[in-house]
A = this chain, B = another copy of it.
Amino acid sequence: MTTTIKPKPRERLLAAAEDLFYTEGVHIGVDRLCDVAQVSKRSMYQHFGSKDEVLVEMLKLRASHVMEGLDTAADAAPRDRILAVFDSLAAQAMTPQFHGCPFVNVATELKDRTHPAAVAALGYKLELNAFFEEQARLAGAGDPQALGVQLTMMFDGVSAYSVVRGEASPAARSAVEVLLAAQGI
């Protein structure tokens, strides 16, 4: 016997938002969001002030999940932790469901860095950058700050490559290894 416990409206809205904003873009309407979430508009506005609030909340949740995922390998060597991020990205980037980094996409589509969702996207990218920089520091990189930025750029470049081409390239990992080696890692 299978028991299906239906998530509550708030959770359904966040789940629908995660899917729709990624697969259809940031400009989906409230009707579409409520339709997929199976939540009335009245109920949506009881839980969130606006569609943008759903978007921001979803991005913050997603960012915290991603960063928690990076924390699970805390006992691995810093260099391996950096490379694992890129290996995970490459695995995702090869799937048909991949449409790039959801945070960069939101910033790209909004074209307004003052928008609360663009600010949330920036917040995530700063966290990812800080993760790379911290691992670089722990590994003894010559310039952890620059390496953190370079790895963040490479991460987004690998994503864009797959968005445009629909495939991944082994040249990505070798580029990361080159950037690490140049810093003595």
Contacts and interface: CB of A to CB of B under 8 A. Distances in A.
Interface of A: 23-25, 27, 99-101, 103-105, 107-109, 111, 113, 118, 121-122, 125, 145-147, 149-150, 152-161, 163-166, 169-172, 174-175, 178-179, 181-182
Given A111-B99, A182-B182, A153 B164 contact: no
Identical chains bound together, number: 2
A118 B164 CA distance: 7
A154 B23 CA distance: 25
Contacts of A103: 164
16 contacts: A23-B111, A24-B111, A25-B111, A27-B27, A104-B163, A113-B166, A125-B164, A125-B165, A146-B171, A149-B161, A150-B172, A152-B161, A153-B158, A153-B169, A154-B175, A175-B179
Given A125-B165, A178-B179, 16 more contacts: A109-B109, A122-B164, A146-B174, A147-B171, A150-B174, A152-B161, A153-B154, A153-B157, A153-B161, A153-B171, A153-B175, A154-B154, A156-B161, A157-B157, A157-B158, A157-B160
